[in-house]
Chain A
Amino acid sequence: MDTPEAVTKRGRMPGRSGFSLPGFLRSREIPIAIVLLLLCFFFWQQRPEAFLRPANLAVIMRFVATFGLLAIGELLVIITGGIDLSVGSMTALNGVLVAMLMTKGIGAIPPLNTILVSATPIAIFPSVILVLIFAGLVGLWHGWFVTKLHIPPFIITLGTWLMASGAAAFITRGYPVVFPSDFPFLGLGQGELLLGGGSEAFQIPNMFSILVVAALFFAFILNSTTLGRHIYAVGGNIEAARLSGINVDRVRMFCYVSSGVMGGLVGILLASRLGQGTPTVDTAYELWAIAATVIGGTSLFGGEGSVLGVILGAAIMGVMQNGMVLLNVSSYLQNVVLGVVLVLAVTWDRWRRHRGS
């Protein structure tokens, strides 16, 4: 139902089986993966003895896990056309909360300190669950404001950012909540899976394994379920999604809750990793997570992005940051370089998109 000229002018596309080089380069993830490999090769060339050492790779993997997990939550929200600025300080607050619940028990919460429960390993599991529920409820709160009151996500999550960073500092009076050094919970963030034996065994940090599980789960949601398709539809044209009978509010709620839970998860993992809940340290993490999603090819306008891209984006940041440390680049300069990478990434992405249509 169209004029032939209009049809021929538009829409070339590689078919189901056909491989075409331009289509290959226009895909989102493959060029990012190539850049990542080139970076790895470069740093390996520069510091062959240090870069590929299992201990160093474990450092990179922990970095990728931290920002990858946050970025997956951010990705879901950004695909729907929103943003979640709260995750950084929510990570701090959740870390503090989990540390307080575990070390001081329920007694840490002021009105309840009459029924004080002392620190026991038994508190680990319920504390983790409680914090994840709390984090999910904060996400629900965001979703509720965005969908029912039509408050811009930028504003409502900025409000939470302030509240959470303030609350984390207030309830700890600014001091970290430190775990006993032999507390079993610390194994979660500090432990790793060893492949092979000896001192040079390949290490896969638990945090990274958790990232892999989360990434597979959310990639499955986005690619294979109706929910995933509806998330993309909401980001592409929310009115069209609504007119197609999709419950767009519920879809957006899911994304904000997921992002909240990821913030909770990272808060818990970092508390375990650092051996303490730190009220101040994580407050710019949301910006790193957003940077990872953008480097991974996610459109801030919504409707586009993938879990794989986001993980690759986090990996690029992790490898660059680590590589620059190995090369003794000043930490101030490191941020300059990462900023340049971010700008290059969005510029390339724009160019790719314009060529595509």
Chain B
Amino acid sequence: MSAQSSIVEMQNIKKYFGAVRALRGVDLTLHRGEVLGLVGDNAAGKSTLMKVLSGAYSPDEGQILIEGARAHIANPDDSRRQGIEMVYQDFALANNLDVASNVFLGREVVRWQLGPLRIMNKRAMEDLARDLVARLKIDIESVRLKVENLSGGQRQAVAIGRATAFDAKVIIMDEPTAALSVAAISKVLDLVRELKAHGCSIIIISHRLEDIHAVCDRVIVLRQGRKVADRPVIGDIHEFREQIVAYMVGAKDDFATEMDQP
């Protein structure tokens, strides 16, 4: 794939939390229609990097290009407007609201506008949410159930459903299978393939290397806030796992410079 087909380009992203250097200058390119895996040990900076892309954090340094153009992502709304959706590691659902409200949170269907007041079309949102739940075969009795009454797996399904409901160009999934049973995991992986077939570009963070191996075209490994590997997913799962683990623990590093050595 040529550089023109990249949909997201993150360049030299740095993010510090006080003394913690969570990201120390990371480059990441996502191609159109590609599924990219993002792996690394705990605290490697995976979630932080993706939260920079989703607008949850603003980077201390670096820039982001969307479809080749410099993008200003100052908050989650900016990112959504660019067609980027994220499934957060902790789901980011309002437990006191029902499923339909959560799916449409921040972009409610508006019936009419009365000055600054926007009156919601609740019925339309419920119907659309019900369609979504049916389409994704999410096992939920009613979209009017409050999220606090759902199981962990159901919540994760709702979070994934919400991200896929709005024709996003780019979908980021942070540990989308962490709370799921084996059967449910394969459903998520099928969903990823389906989204890809529809032209969506996807980034998946996961500790389950077999999931990365099953659906990803390419994988990026982070270690201590740096990118240490960026390579296509090839070979069988054992070979793949061995290689990736070597990067994760620091035995291998494709991007090492003297300056980066601890």
Binding site for B on A (CB under 8 A): 1-4, 6-7, 9-13, 15-16, 221, 224-227, 229-230, 232-233, 235-237, 239-246, 303-304, 356-357
Contact = CB atoms under 8 A, between A and B. Distances in A.
A241 B93 CA distance: 8
B138 A233 contact: no
B249 interface: no
Given A243-B88, A246-B105, A4 B139 contact: yes
Contacts of A224: 119-120, 122
Given A1-B137, A6-B151, A233-B105, A240 B94 contact: yes
SS of A interface (majority)? helix
B217 interface: no
Contacts of B152: 6
Given A13-B149, A227-B117, 19 more contacts: A1-B137, A1-B138, A1-B184, A6-B153, A7-B154, A9-B151, A10-B150, A11-B145, A12-B141, A13-B145, A226-B120, A229-B105, A229-B108, A236-B95, A237-B92, A239-B92, A240-B93, A241-B105, A242-B56
Contacts of B183: 3
21 contacts: A1-B136, A1-B153, A1-B184, A1-B188, A2-B153, A2-B157, A6-B153, A7-B139, A10-B151, A224-B119, A224-B122, A226-B120, A227-B116, A233-B97, A235-B96, A241-B105, A244-B105, A245-B76, A245-B77, A246-B105, A303-B95
A1 B154 contact: yes
Nearest to A353: B148
A340 to B, nearest CB: 28
Given A7-B139, A229-B120, A232-B97, A243 B150 contact: no
Instruction: Report, nearest first, the 5 A-B pairs whose CB atoms are least far apart.
Output: A244-B106, A245-B77, A236-B96, A1-B157, A236-B94
B120 A225 contact: yes
Nearest to A246: B106
A56 to B, nearest CB: 38
Given A1-B184, A2-B184, A226-B110, A303 B145 contact: no
B148 A357 contact: yes
